[in-house]
Every structure is written in C-alpha cells, then in structure tokens.
Structure 1
Amino acid sequence: GLDIASWALILTYRDGEKYGRVGPGGRAWGVAWEWAPSASALRAILTVEIGTASLAAGLAPAAAAQGPHISSLSALSDLSAALVLTAAFVKAAQLPFTDWLMTAMSAPTPVSALLHSSTMVKAGPILLLKLGHAMPTWAAGTAFAFGIATALYGGVVALGQREPKVLLAASTASYLGLITAFALAKPEEALWLTYSHGVAKATLFMAAGHAIHVEHTTTPTRFPAAAKAAMALALLTLVGLTPLGAVAKSHAEPWLLLFSFLTAGYVGKLMLKTGTTPGGWAVAAPYTALAAASLAYPVLPNPFWALALAGLALAKMPEPTVLLRRLGLPVLYDAVAPAVFKAVRRAAAVVDGFVDKRLLSLEGLWRGLASLVAVVDLIFDMLLHDFVPALVQSASAQLSKRSFDYYLYVAGVGAGIILALAVLLWIR
C-alpha cells in the first residue's frame, strides 16, 4: 500500500508540467538526463517492489516455522537474512538501489518532505532495528559496508547537484547510509540519528519548497530569509550542534566527522550560493517551528562537532559534470536494467516453453492434469511477464495526463474518515 501510494504521489504533476520534471537535461552515456513524472513513478515502483518481494520471500519461511510476529522470530537463516537486507537496502535507497529516490523528486515538495523524513525510506533501517535480534552475525558487517558506501556516495553527489530537491534526495541517501550502517551494530545510535534526520530533513525540504513556490522554478536562485534561518538550524542539527543533534552525535565516533563535513558542504551550498529575499516568516511558521523543536532537549552540544562547519568551504566548489550526472548510476536504471530484464524474460520464456512441452508430452491419465497445469502456468506467466508490467507502465502514463492530485486528496480524506470510524468502533 505504501509503495502504491508513493507511486501515485509521484504522478501528481502531469508529464508536461515543469514542476514534475527532474534532471539537468541533455543526453550522455546513452541516457536522457531528464525524467517526467510517469518515468519517475515507474522507476520508483519497479525498484521498491524488489524490496517488497525480497521481504515477503525472506520472512515467509521464518513466519511459517516460528510464528507470524516479529517478536516471535529467534533466528533467520542466511538466505532469509540476505533477502531482508536486500529489502532494507531497496527501501532506504542504498547502493545500488539509490537512484529511484533522486527521480522521485517529481512529486510535490510536501510529499518529498514526508517521504524522505519519516515514511518510505525510513522503513529500511527501521526494518533492521526491528529484526536485529534475529539476524546472523555477518549481517551487521554487510549493513555497515553498504551503508557507509552509500553515505559517501550520497554526500559527494549532493555537492554536484543544482536542483535543491535532488541535492536533498542525495543527502537523504547519504544520511540513511549512516543509519543503515549502525542499525544492527549500534541500534541506539541509529535510532537517534533517525530522529534528528527526520526533524532536519523535513525542515530542509519545506524550506526549499518555499523558495520553489516563491520563484516558480525548481532551481531557485533566492530563498526567503525565513527559509535560510530554518535551513541553518537544520544544518546545526545534522552536524550535532543543537540539543537534538547533540544527543544523536553523543553516540557517534569521531571519524563520522567526515560525513558531517560533507553535510555542511551541501546544505551550505543551498544557503551560500543563493540570494536572500526578506520576509516570509508567516508562511514559514510550520517548518520554522519544526526546526526549533531541535532545541527542546536539555543537552549541551560537544564543541568537537563544530569542526564540521569547515565543510561550508565546499559550498563554493565547482560542480563537476560527473557529480551532476550522479557518477553514472542512472545508466544502471535506464540502460542496463531494462536490457537485463529483457534477457531474463527471454530466458524464462525458453525454460517455461520447454517445461510446458514436457508436461504436454505425458501420456494417459496425466495428460489432462498436465494440460491444466500448463494452462494455469501460461496464465500466471502472462500476468507476471506481460500484463502487470504493461499495466503499471500504462497507468503511469495515463495518470500523468490528468489532475490526479484531486482524486488523491479525496481518497485520502475518505481513508482518514474510515480509519477514524474504525478507531471509534474499536474503542467502544
């Protein structure tokens, strides 16, 4: 349900609307570097469903053997653990599944703020936090390796982005890399990083959205003063210089200063490479209040983390094309993955055809049963290999031509009313 909702939200804008288009444009490495909402939504749903399928396949055997509740699981097999890790990496946009999150920026900014700060992408590390007691010992090392690699990738790539929302998407992947890295090895640290990131990233997205709304462009050159103030407070939280940030960093090791250094660079880029327009405080009240919530803890920050502010110097660095092109990762999505999918589909068709012929070659009593199995198998193959992908692709294209947000809001209000009534009935 969450995957389908995010897919629908990415389709809020139509393909022809400038607000829904993501990417610097042009063509390089055989890929067109601009994605319309229909393409972004398709990328997202096909990627995250890999995680959903991995999670179902990984937990089903354990649930059948040990019980249906997470608390009842005592140990996962190596295969189940590998599938759970895959699900967590996909949901949290960890390498190599990172780029779907960049093009998901086709969604409106409030959606992006919700998606990045607390819902879909946080499902990955939260899954690991919930299942940490059942994971084998090698899983912590694997999560650490993938998480740190993604943290470095996302932080460096963020420095080269020109669209504020894509920059923040890369930074989300980076910070989630740190949370994923420690989710199994140091769960308390991962938990506090989750809290501080949620407050700061929602603030940054809404502040960026304020500028996008004021300037009517996805690449604003000026930010309202209120947005700049909220961004500064969010930056201090991410590097550990507000009380909430200090609690998160109190569990961190000194070498993580490298990632805080990168954080200062890409958030500083939003503040220092853009102009400032006066005012905007009334409109900014919700997200400035959210940013101020980071001051609610009675904790003094550790001055050591102030060294991260030296990373503000990175804000003035040039934007190499290789970073703007995200080190070529979109090629994996738009060129390599489709070719691999077609090859697997053809191979599956050959194997499946051979099995069907063998079944139909059986004699006597078995022939009727074999025919039935072959027909059921054929229907399943058509659904899985042809109908479902074509339906999703067609729906993405069709919805991008319509004002889908109206229907989405109606459905959301309806779902809220049903949920409220269900809760009232349950209480009574």
Structure 2
Amino acid sequence: MSAALLLLVLLPAAGGAVLLLGRHRLDRVGAPLALGLGAVGLALAVVAAVGRPVVTVPFLGRGAAAVADGADLALAVDGLSALLVVTVAAVALVVTVHAAVDHEVRTSRARFFGFWLLFVAAMQLTVTATTFPALLLGWEVMGATSYALIGFRWRLAGRTAAGTTALLTTRAADLGLYVAAGAVLAGSGGLHLSGLGGLPEPWTAVATTGVVVAALGKSAQLPLSGWLSAAMQGPSPVSALLHSATMVAAGGYLLLRVGPDLMAGAATVVVWTGAATALVLGLAAVAQSDLKQLLAASTAAQMGFVVAAAGAHAAGAGAGLLGGAEHLVAHAAVKAGLFVAAGVWLGALGTRALGGLRGAGRRYPVVGAAVVAAAAALAGIPPLSLWVTKDEVLHGVEQAHLPGGAVLHVVLLAAGALSAAYAAKIVAVVLAPASGTGDGSPAPVPAVAAALTLATAAVGLGVLALPGVRDAVARVLDAAPGAAPTPTALAISGGLAVLVAAVVLWRPGLARATERVPLRDWWSLPALLAVAGRAAVRLAGAVDRADAGLDRAVRSVPTGALAAARGAGTADGGIDRGVHGVAGLAVTSARHAAMVDVRGVDGLVRDVATGTGRAGRAARRPQTGLLHQYYAQVAAGLGALLVLLILVR
C-alpha cells in the first residue's frame, strides 16, 4: 500500500520530468504518456484510498540528525484525502483526454504535458501531506507549474502577464504558510500539520493567520480573487483542471484539513469570507459576457461555500466537514465538465463570448446536453449534486452557532440563488436560436466524450442526498454530522434555484442587463490587484532606494577609512622616505668622515710619525762619539750659517 501512495506522486512527477527534459523530441509521446500515467494514477488512487497507507521519506535529516521532529516528507491517506486523491486522479484523467485533442495544445506537447503531469503530482502531494515540508513542496510546485501552464502560449499577448498575475498573487499569500510553519516549529518544536493544535500564544494566532491567508489566496477568495480572472488566458484544459479538482480546490481542502486546529476566533472570519465571496463573485458571474470568465467567477463563488463549510468545521460542526468535502468533489465534476465544453466550442466556433455561442447547444447537441446537465447541477436544481451539497454547507453553518448566523444563512441562500442565475444564463445562451452562420468545425469525439462523462458524474453525485450514502461518506471522513438537512430546508433551496433559473430562462435579458454595470469587471478586483501590485512595486522601489542609500552610507565608512588609511600610508611613506634619506645621508657622511679620518688625519699622523722617525734616524747618524766628526759637523754648520747671513743681507 505504501508503494501505491509513493507511486501516486512519483510516477506523474517522473513522467513530467522526462517530457520536459526530452523537449520537442518527445512531442509525439506527450499525450499518450500523460493518458497512460493518468489511468495508472487513478488505479493507484483507488488502492491508496482503500488501503490508507502512510509513507515517510527523510528530507531534512534523519533520526537524531533531523533538524526537527516532522522534518521528513510524510504522506498519509485518511478519510478526507481518500476522497480527494480519487477525485483529483479521476478528473485529471478525463480532462487529459480533452487536452490530448485540444486545439490550443497542438504544439510543444512535451512541454505542456510535462508541466501538466508535474501539476497533478503536486496536487496529490498536497492532499496527502502530513508535515509542513511535504505540504510546502507540493504547494510550491503547484504554483510554479500553474504559471507555466497558464502562460503556455507565451508568444500570444497577455499570456505571460496572466501567468505572472496568478503566480505573484498566490505567491504573496503563500508566504503565510511559511509563517505558519515557523510558528508551529517555534511553539511545538516540530513541523507536523497536527502541531497546529494546542500551540501556546502567540504562536496559535500567528500560525492560524498564516494558514488562513495562504488558503484564501489559493482558493481565490476575497480580496484575492482577481488572479482567477487573469488565469482565463490559459488553454481551456488548464482552466478545466485548475478550477475543478486542483489548485483552486487546494485552499478549501487545507482549511478543511486543519479546521479543528485553528484558533477559535478564525472560524468566524473564515465563514464570513467564504459567504461574502460566494455572494460577490456570484454577482460578478451573472454579469459576465465571456463564458470562461463566467465560469471562473463562479468557481471563486463555489469555493466560497467550501470555505464557509471549513469555517463551520473549525467551529466544531461535523456537517461542515461533510458538506465541504462533498461540495469539493461534486463541484470538481461540474466545473470540469463545463470548462471542457467551453474548450470544445472555442475550438469549433473560435469564440468564448456568450454572444458568439448562441445556439451552440443546438449545433453540437451532445455537448449541449452535457452543458445543460452540468449547469443544472451548478444551479442546485433538485435532485442533482450541488443541490444537496450546498444545503449540507448551510446545515453546517447552522450547527456552528456563529455570531450573525441568521444573516449568514440568508447570504448563503442568496449566493445559491445566484448560482442558479448564472447557470441558467449559460443554458439560455447555448439553447437559443443560432445567430451565426455555418455549423463550425467538427467537435473532437474524445473531448465530447470527456464532457459527457463529467456531466454524468455531476448528475450522478446527486446520490449524496440519499441518507445511506450521506452516512457512508460521513464514516469515511470520520465525521459526526448529526441529522441531515431537513426536507423543508432542501425544498426551500431547491425551489429557490428552480424559480430563479426559470425566470432567467424566461427573461434572459434580465441577466444580460447586468453586463452593462461594473460587475462585469469582477468588481474591479483585477484592477485592484494591479494597483496593489504597482503600489507594492513602488514600495519595493522606495525600500530598495533606502536600502541602496544605507548601503552607500555603510560603504562610505570603509571607503573613508580606506582613503584615510591611504593618506596615512602616503604620509607614512613620506616619513619612511625621510627617515631612509636621513639614514642614507648619515651613512654617506659617516663614510666621508671615515675617508677623511682614514686618509687625512690618520695619513697625516702616519706621515708625521714617519718623518719624525726618519728625522730621528737621520739625527742619530751624526752621534758617533768621534771628536773629529763633531768638529767637521760644527764647521759645516758655521759655513751654512755664514752663507745664510750673506744671502739674507
């Protein structure tokens, strides 16, 4: 069983790496490899969901050498992750069938399916992670590959910018997950996700804030919803996978996973954020004139129900976990089917504008039938899937007994009615009399089959309303949801959905009228993100300039010290040269004095001595002791004196 869980993550990761390294040489095998690994992944997901394996792989040290308890890449499958691994694998496989024949993925197929497989592997790692290192690894790879997939056709204007918007927005929120990991490590000494529970203050507040911010950003909740609009620049298969069972669902899943461990005060914030997003983005969805933008806004709105359920779960309501998990699964099938259909029509008719899709359901009846079924489920029409899952969410919010519970109930009911409005708007357009000329290009049979399969799942998941099925899912989740929603509650929500859908179908102009108001621009949320981004850039520029000034100031100290040292060195060199010059002059003077002394004074003394010696020897010669020699000497002396006197006178 452990091998099944490891392979569930490693096989698509390895396949994606091979395709990316092989580049264009593997373009032909990209789609077949992705399909094969998708089928194997579904089988492995079922095995893991049944066997509930646990796997630990050393990461940041091992045993006593580990940096902290929980520093491993630890994976496990419990009730919640069992539902998600199967959902992710199943939806990914069906959407891969669409991607294999999609017109937007005709070139660079090895690159596309390489990132695709890595994206799926990252989501499977995310939903099975039990430690922060494993969660962060999956979380980060998912964000990076989503950027590559959204901007896949990077040569087209706006594609790279759209990927950048999605990456930077979610990346900014993702920092909260690092803050939470640090708080858990500081407060518990470990890195287990379960360490969120029982942290001392202030680490509980820090960790809770970090997790909530990261999850809300990933699931495109207010005020971070605008990136989802930009992400619609990506190919339709990317939108289908990203909006259904993977990236956007990851935030809601994380909140459901850690709900009971969050700080008590966070439950109210999370529920209200989810409810507000469901209402505001539901209004934005009704106002769209572009099918993919409508579906994108509705994704954020539907994730609002999941986030609200997670908040109720955090407050102790078992129905919150059940409703949130069921809504994640059912919404994945519904939204993937609608995006696949949008991709089929975009390839066949060359447009995604609702005005250009008038009558598309009549031109392509099988796709049209799939869209009508999935849209009816999205609207919450009884007895289809989202009808019961939305009521389960409402039931969980009631159980939580949060402040303003009655108002919350009304807000979520209104958001459910808006679901019916935008779903009916799609149906009214695609079933209207055709406005274009010609029948368009043929729809690829595999893509049509994929849309039909997902729509069938969206309808079939209505069995969640059956008491026996509800109880079975609750046992899988190990939840205690209490009594099911009352028949009256189900009737109210279902009747409201039918009424709103009927009004929109009867008077479609009412929904089209909203296209002329600012709601069409997602309440200007993308513009607000752009403004916030520019403000962040300006702030970063100011900080950079201040930092550069600080750097210059810091560098000026050693520069001044260096200049002073150089001056001192120069002066010291002058002193050295002076000292050396004086020493040299002294040595030269000494040498000259030595020469004078040796050759002058010493020579004179020696000459005097020599002369004296010679004179002494000469004076000694006349001293013979002979009288006649003395007389001769006196005579010579007198003669010489006489001559001198004669000469002088």
Superposition TM-score tier, normalisation by shorter sequence: 0.7 to 0.9
Residues 117 and 197, structure 1, Cα contact 8 Å, conserved in 2: yes
Secondary structure, aligned partner of 1:184: helix
1:227-306 pair list within 5 angstroms: 227-238=367-378, 239=380, 241-242=382-383, 244-253=385-394, 255=410, 256-274=412-430, 275=432, 282-283=445-446, 284-293=448-457, 294-295=459-460, 297=463, 299=465, 302-304=490-492, 305-306=494-495
CA–CA distance in 2 between the matches of 1:71 and 1:276?
Answer: 56
Task: Tell me the TM-score normalized by structure 1.
Answer: 0.74
The C-alpha deviation readout for 1:68-126, integer Å capped at 9, x for no partner, is 22134323521221121111111011111111111101111111010000111111111
1:69 is aligned, of 189, 192, 204, to 192
In the alignment, structure 1 residue 310 sits paired with structure 2 residue 499: yes
Residues 105 and 169, structure 1, Cα contact 8 Å, conserved in 2: yes
In the alignment, structure 1 residue 130 sits paired with structure 2 residue 323: no
Secondary structure, aligned partner of 1:42: helix
Measured after TM superposition, the shift of residue 241 of structure 1 is 2.0
CA–CA distance in 2 between the matches of 1:208 and 1:141?
Answer: 36
Residues 381 and 498, structure 2, Cα contact 8 Å, conserved in 1: no
Measured after TM superposition, the shift of residue 299 of structure 1 is 4.0
CA–CA distance in 2 between the matches of 1:200 and 1:123?
Answer: 17
Give the aligned partner of residue 3 of structure 1: 143
CA–CA distance in 1 between the matches of 2:433 and 2:246?
Answer: 31
Give the aligned partner of residue 298 of structure 2: 171
CA–CA distance in 2 between the matches of 1:145 and 1:250?
Answer: 17
CA–CA distance in 2 between the matches of 1:48 and 1:306?
Answer: 37
1:338 is matched by which residue type in structure 2? R
Residues 226 and 281, structure 1, Cα contact 8 Å, conserved in 2: no
1:354 is aligned, of 546, 550, 562, to 550
- Extract unaligned runs of 5+ from structure 2: 1-140, 313-319, 395-408, 467-486, 560-649
The C-alpha deviation readout for 1:135-176, integer Å capped at 9, x for no partner, is 111111111121111111110011111111111000001111
Measured after TM superposition, the shift of residue 325 of structure 1 is 2.0
2:517 is aligned, of 321, 327, 337, to 321
The C-alpha deviation readout for 1:194-217, integer Å capped at 9, x for no partner, is 111111111111111121111012
Q: Percent identity?
A: 30
Secondary structure, aligned partner of 2:386: helix
Give the aligned partner of residue 152 of structure 1: 279
* Number of matched pairs: 345
With over 3 angstroms needed to count, the CA separation of the structure-2 counterparts of 1:132 and 1:273, relative to structure 1, is same
Residues 13 and 106, structure 1, Cα contact 8 Å, conserved in 2: no
1:295 is matched by which residue type in structure 2? G
2:527 is aligned, of 303, 313, 331, to 331
1:74 is matched by which residue type in structure 2? G
2:500 is matched by which residue type in structure 1? G
CA–CA distance in 1 between the matches of 2:464 and 2:298?
Answer: 28
1:306 is matched by which residue type in structure 2? G
Measured after TM superposition, the shift of residue 15 of structure 1 is 4.1
Moved more, 275-284 or 298-307: 275-284
Specify which structure has the higher proportion of helix: 2
CA–CA distance in 1 between the matches of 2:443 and 2:460?
Answer: 22
Task: Tell me the TM-score normalized by structure 2.
Answer: 0.50
Measured after TM superposition, the shift of residue 230 of structure 1 is 1.6
With over 3 angstroms needed to count, the CA separation of the structure-2 counterparts of 1:218 and 1:316, relative to structure 1, is same
CA–CA distance in 1 between the matches of 2:274 and 2:546?
Answer: 38
With over 3 angstroms needed to count, the CA separation of the structure-2 counterparts of 1:276 and 1:59, relative to structure 1, is farther
With over 3 angstroms needed to count, the CA separation of the structure-2 counterparts of 1:121 and 1:75, relative to structure 1, is farther
The Cα RMSD (Å) is: 2.7
Max radius of gyration: which structure? 2
Residues 375 and 426, structure 2, Cα contact 8 Å, conserved in 1: no
CA–CA distance in 2 between the matches of 1:336 and 1:71?
Answer: 34
Residues 375 and 427, structure 2, Cα contact 8 Å, conserved in 1: no
